[in-house]
A and B are shown apart, each in its own frame.
Chain A
Amino acid sequence: MAVPEQKQSATEARLSAMELPEPGCTRAAREAALARVCEMGLPSRRDEYWKYTRPDTLVDPVALPAAVFQNDEKPLFDGVDRLKIVFVDGVFDPDQSDDLSLEGVRIDRLEDICCKDIHWAKDLYGVLEARGHNPVPRPLAALNTAFASDGVAIHITQKVSKPISLIYRHASESSDAILHHVVRVEEGAEATILENGPAASRFNKCMEIDIADGGTLHHVRAQGRDHERRAVTHMFTRLGRESVYKSFTLTVNGVLTRNEQVIELTGDDAVAHVAGACVGDGDFHHDDTVFITHDAVNCESRQVFKKVLRNGAVGVFQGKILVKEGAQKTDGYQISQSLLLDDDSQFLAKPELEIYADDVACSHGSTSGAIDETALFYMRSRGVPEKQATDLLTLAFLAEAVEEIEDEALAGDIVDRLDGWLSRRA
């Protein structure tokens, strides 16, 4: 299929501003990814798949500047004992990071996987991304595979005692970062990966996660609060038999965010939960795009996405569950809801189910609504001031998504962030 001319010139403009990193063992994967980018072309607003979100600022050769958010709240996950891996404007910073050794996990920088001959990482890099251009292309992920300048390979071999915490600091107003991580969870192993921070003015992140039979990965992330930052992220996850993947994302502020989750349940009895809570005020556009493939028996998938929008903020949800032939006893649940705090805000949802097996239970629902006036009056009649009552109802609305986080301390930190957002609003 030929790439339309306009798309081709936009793609060429971006590519001509970039250079493939040093040759190394990922070179072949990067070249293949680059070929995919050229073949697909970078997204444009004409693409059906980008109907609700304008990709141009993610595609343009030069990133728009973004001011660094300052406030005196304590950093997220501050009280959590964790292994910190810090990136500043998309570059690993060994001085701010902890020693990377921890029992049950081996962590290497992407650039070291060749000299250290880390086979699993070489074999995973770009592989799930390449499989993930179905049913639609995700060229920004291929662009990431080709040009990622840093990242880590996380090999989880046992139950890891504390979370691995990826911290993305934003320092330069003109930073434009591309990070690519690969994660392998071995049989029966278990870990939690945390991510937080804005990373850069423009951030393109890709994480490929391969979970072997009986493995478990928890993922909790909070995207940075810098108002003008832009981000596109892809999580590609493949699950083996009886494995578990639970991912939660909090987004507070950010002029543009597109989070894609591409999940393949390939072994029987696997479980995948993805959840998101986002709160946006004003110049805020947040897009969750999820594609879950059930390709094994008796798997469970669950999507819970909640968005609170005000002052013209826009929320998008595109979620699809594909149940392949033979994926019997599939349990698929999807809910996407928005709470619109005024008439200016907007929620666009496109939930989809495609089912080729007969013994399945799938449900999806999408709603958009305002604060429940009756509940608001009830609370006020008990003496709770309007603002406080509205905040309580807002947190209650988000609760179903936040409750997807199993760890109470992490969930508590996320609720604190939401409280902070609410208290900054008059």
Chain B
Amino acid sequence: MLEIKNLHVKLEEEEKQILKGVDLTVEAGKVHAIMGPNGSGKSTLSYVLSGRDGYEVTEGSATLDGEDLLELEPEERAALGVFLAFQYPVEIPGVGNMTFLRTAVNAQRKARGEDELSASDFLKLVRERAKALKIDADMLKRPVNVGFSGGEKKRNEILQMAVLEPKMCILDETDSGLDVDAMKLVAEGVNALRDEGRGFLVITHYQRLLDHIKPDVVHIMADGRIVKSGGPELALEVEHNGYGDILAEVQ
């Protein structure tokens, strides 16, 4: 599904290389986790995949079901099925959460040549998905993420994902800043979306999220590269010993 080959990325404004040859393939139906120390390039990878400005790809490729993602505008990638749950969800004063979601759903449907969702179908869908994430009507009415707590913002990201039903879900430290209950809600939201046709790339700093979202493959990223890949046991190793041993081993 998602195929990243030898991806090299530098900052557009500075001579600073951040990704130094990332290779990664996420198959449909699988959950891949990326762990790694702060500053290793995890968020950069997620931004480059979703099309944020400010980065320059100097080498390599990234495709989704064979389509070259790097050539596309962010909204085109979204319509293809790429979704990024932001590490820091953005506040948008003056734009209602519902308005935003509905605009996004219908823009994607339009881009794919599908009919827009009717107001009532949309409402039904959102209410059902919101309920599972314990997002109340008030949160839906408020401007996007404005005045939301850290946990509410992360749940709102998962709500957007649940409503947009993307093919390739990238979650960037969705667990950070969450208490245990909120993390369970988020994990349940993710697990509910797991199916044959969908791939997940779960970026996390800690193993604890992976207790709830069981990954198929765990990658360790350091200094702009995937330095080690393995099964779920790799996450446990990190949990017990930190990154030190693994990094020493690969050097």
Q: Could you tell me which A residues sit within 8 Å of B by CB distance?
A: 372-375, 377-386, 388, 392-393, 395-397, 399-400
Q: List 24 A-B contacts (CB under 8 A).
A: A373-B53, A377-B53, A377-B90, A378-B92, A380-B73, A380-B74, A381-B50, A381-B84, A382-B78, A382-B83, A382-B100, A382-B160, A383-B75, A383-B104, A383-B111, A384-B75, A385-B73, A385-B75, A385-B111, A386-B73, A388-B107, A392-B95, A397-B94, A400-B94
- Known: A378-B89, A383-B75, A383-B107; 6 extra A-B contacts, CB below 8 A, are A373-B53, A375-B92, A386-B75, A392-B95, A393-B94, A393-B95
A-B pairs, top 8 by smallest CB distance, nearest first, are: A396-B94, A383-B78, A383-B108, A380-B74, A382-B104, A378-B90, A399-B94, A396-B95
Q: Are A381 and B78 neighbours in the complex by a CB distance under 8 Å?
A: yes
Q: Which residue of B lies closest to A373 (CB)?
A: B53
Q: Are A393 and B92 neighbours in the complex by a CB distance under 8 Å?
A: yes
Residues of B contacting A382 in the complex (Cβ-Cβ under 8 angstroms): 78, 83, 100, 104, 108, 160, 164
Residues of A contacting B86 in the complex (Cβ-Cβ under 8 angstroms): 378
Q: Could you tell me which B residues sit within 8 Å of A by CB distance?
A: 50-53, 73-75, 77-79, 83-84, 86, 89-95, 99-100, 103-105, 107-108, 111, 143, 160, 164
Q: Which residue of B lies closest to A377 (CB)?
A: B52
Q: Are A396 and B107 neighbours in the complex by a CB distance under 8 Å?
A: no
Q: Are B51 and A381 neighbours in the complex by a CB distance under 8 Å?
A: yes
**Cβ of B53 to closest chain A Cβ, rounded Å:** 7
Residues of B contacting A393 in the complex (Cβ-Cβ under 8 angstroms): 92, 94-95
**Cβ of B160 to closest chain A Cβ, rounded Å:** 6
Residues of A contacting B77 in the complex (Cβ-Cβ under 8 angstroms): 381
Q: When chains A and B are docked, how far (Å) is the Cα of A375 from the Cα of B52?
A: 11
**Cβ of B143 to closest chain A Cβ, rounded Å:** 8
**Cβ of A378 to closest chain B Cβ, rounded Å:** 4
Q: When chains A and B are docked, how far (Å) is the Cα of A375 from the Cα of B74?
A: 13
Q: Which residue of B lies closest to A387 (CB)?
A: B75
Residues of A contacting B164 in the complex (Cβ-Cβ under 8 angstroms): 382-383
Residues of A contacting B105 in the complex (Cβ-Cβ under 8 angstroms): 383
Which of B83, B99, B105, B107 has the largest count of A CB atoms less than 10 A from its CB?
B107
Q: Which residue of A lies closest to B160 (CB)?
A: A382
Q: When chains A and B are docked, how far (Å) is the Cα of A385 from the Cα of B50?
A: 14
Residues of B contacting A373 in the complex (Cβ-Cβ under 8 angstroms): 53
Q: Are A375 and B90 neighbours in the complex by a CB distance under 8 Å?
A: yes
Q: Which residue of B lies closest to A374 (CB)?
A: B90
Given the known A-B contacts A373-B53, A388-B103, A388-B107, are A379 and B92 also in contact in the complex, defined by CB atoms under 8 Å? yes
Q: Are A380 and B95 neighbours in the complex by a CB distance under 8 Å?
A: no
Q: When chains A and B are docked, how far (Å) is the Cα of A380 from the Cα of B50?
A: 9
Q: When chains A and B are docked, how far (Å) is the Cα of A385 from the Cα of B100?
A: 12
Residues of B contacting A380 in the complex (Cβ-Cβ under 8 angstroms): 51, 73-75, 78
Which of A378, A386, A388 has the largest count of B CB atoms less than 10 A from its CB?
A378
Q: Contact check: which of A381, A383, A396, A400 meets B92 at CB < 8 Å?
A: A396
Q: When chains A and B are docked, how far (Å) is the Cα of A372 from the Cα of B77?
A: 21
**Cβ of B12 to closest chain A Cβ, rounded Å:** 13
Q: Which residue of A lies closest to B74 (CB)?
A: A380
Q: Are A379 and B93 neighbours in the complex by a CB distance under 8 Å?
A: no
Q: When chains A and B are docked, how far (Å) is the Cα of A373 from the Cα of B92?
A: 11
Q: When chains A and B are docked, how far (Å) is the Cα of A399 from the Cα of B50?
A: 29
**Cβ of B82 to closest chain A Cβ, rounded Å:** 8
Residues of B contacting A372 in the complex (Cβ-Cβ under 8 angstroms): 92
Q: When chains A and B are docked, how far (Å) is the Cα of A165 from the Cα of B223?
A: 67
**Cβ of A373 to closest chain B Cβ, rounded Å:** 7
Q: When chains A and B are docked, how far (Å) is the Cα of A396 from the Cα of B143?
A: 10
Q: When chains A and B are docked, how far (Å) is the Cα of A382 from the Cα of B163?
A: 11
Residues of B contacting A379 in the complex (Cβ-Cβ under 8 angstroms): 92, 100, 104
Q: When chains A and B are docked, how far (Å) is the Cα of A386 from the Cα of B89?
A: 18
Q: When chains A and B are docked, how far (Å) is the Cα of A386 from the Cα of B105?
A: 15
Q: When chains A and B are docked, how far (Å) is the Cα of A380 from the Cα of B92?
A: 13
Q: When chains A and B are docked, how far (Å) is the Cα of A274 from the Cα of B112?
A: 45
**Cβ of B43 to closest chain A Cβ, rounded Å:** 13
Q: Which residue of B lies closest to A382 (CB)?
A: B104
**Cβ of A270 to closest chain B Cβ, rounded Å:** 29
**Cβ of B170 to closest chain A Cβ, rounded Å:** 10
Residues of A contacting B94 in the complex (Cβ-Cβ under 8 angstroms): 393, 395-397, 399-400
Residues of A contacting B74 in the complex (Cβ-Cβ under 8 angstroms): 377, 380-381
Q: Which residue of B lies closest to A384 (CB)?
A: B107
Q: Which residue of A lies closest to B92 (CB)?
A: A375
**Cβ of A358 to closest chain B Cβ, rounded Å:** 34
Residues of A contacting B90 in the complex (Cβ-Cβ under 8 angstroms): 374-375, 377-378
**Cβ of B75 to closest chain A Cβ, rounded Å:** 5
Q: When chains A and B are docked, how far (Å) is the Cα of A396 from the Cα of B89?
A: 18
Q: When chains A and B are docked, how far (Å) is the Cα of A383 from the Cα of B75?
A: 4
**Cβ of B188 to closest chain A Cβ, rounded Å:** 22
Residues of A contacting B95 in the complex (Cβ-Cβ under 8 angstroms): 392-393, 396
